[in-house]
């Protein structure tokens, strides 16, 4: 019986060794595949790093160009802002002057209207007096014939 036990242990041990070898071969294959995957990943990561480095350098160059252009445009924008402020000031001044001139013109027109109204009234009074004198002068100069209803015309 001991012999059978030894044979059973030997067979079990042989099976265990075979299983261990199969497991180790499988693990070795898996490790090789993982190593290949890691190497490929490392290559891709290096390529990506190079691309990102190139992209970042291009981005820096573009940002520097943009910054220089914005710096160059800034005085122009300031000039436009100052021109706008100047236009606003001139517009405000023109509005003030226009309002003052309008008030002055209205005052002068109202005063002239009042003065001319008085003068026109005086002129009409003088014209009325003149016409009345003219009629009387015509009557005195050419007396009216009682038989005729019309005055003599010369």
Domain boundaries, the chain: 113-144
**pLDDT level of residue 143 (50, 70, 90 thresholds):** low
pLDDT at residue 98 is higher than 70: yes
Instruction: Please tell me the distance from the alpha carbon of residue 140 to that of residue 43, in angstroms, as a whole number.
Output: 136
Question: Could you tell me if 142 and 151 are in contact, meaning their C-beta atoms sit under 8 angstroms apart?
Answer: yes
DSSP state of 154: -
**pLDDT level of residue 147 (50, 70, 90 thresholds):** low
Instruction: Please tell me the distance from the alpha carbon of residue 152 to that of residue 150, in angstroms, as a whole number.
Output: 6
At residue 64, the pLDDT reads 94
Q: Which residues have a Cβ under 8 Å from the Cβ of 145 and sit 6 or more positions away?
A: 152
Minimum mean pLDDT among 55-59, 107-111, 145-149: which range?
A: 145-149
Question: Could you tell me if 119 and 132 are in contact, meaning their C-beta atoms sit under 8 angstroms apart?
Answer: no
Determine how many CB atoms are found less than 10 A away from the CB of residue 138. 15
Higher local confidence (pLDDT), 88 or 123: 88
Mean model confidence pLDDT for the chain: 87
**pLDDT level of residue 148 (50, 70, 90 thresholds):** low
**pLDDT level of residue 49 (50, 70, 90 thresholds):** very high
Q: Using the structure block, give the residue that is written with the tokens 């890691």.
A: 38
Question: Could you tell me if 134 and 122 are in contact, meaning their C-beta atoms sit under 8 angstroms apart?
Answer: no
């Amino acid at each position: 019986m001991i012999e059978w036990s030894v044979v059973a242990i030997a067979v079990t041990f042989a099976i265990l060794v075979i299983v261990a070898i199969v497991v180790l071969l499988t693990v070795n294959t898996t490790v090789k595949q993982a190593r290949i995957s890691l190497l490929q990943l490392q290559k891709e990561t290096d390529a990506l790093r190079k691309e990102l480095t190139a992209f970042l350098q291009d981005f820096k160059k573009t940002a520097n160009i943009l910054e220089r252009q914005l710096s160059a445009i800034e005085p122009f924008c300031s000039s436009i802002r100052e021109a706008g402020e100047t236009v606003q000031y001139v517009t405000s001044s023109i509005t003030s002057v226009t309002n003052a001139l309008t008030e002055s013109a209205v005052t002068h027109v109202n005063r002239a209207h009042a003065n001319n109204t008085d003068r026109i009234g005086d002129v009409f009074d003088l014209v009325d007096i003149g016409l009345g004198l003219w009629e009387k002068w015509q009557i005195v100069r050419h007396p009216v014939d009682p038989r005729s209803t019309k005055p003599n015309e010369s």
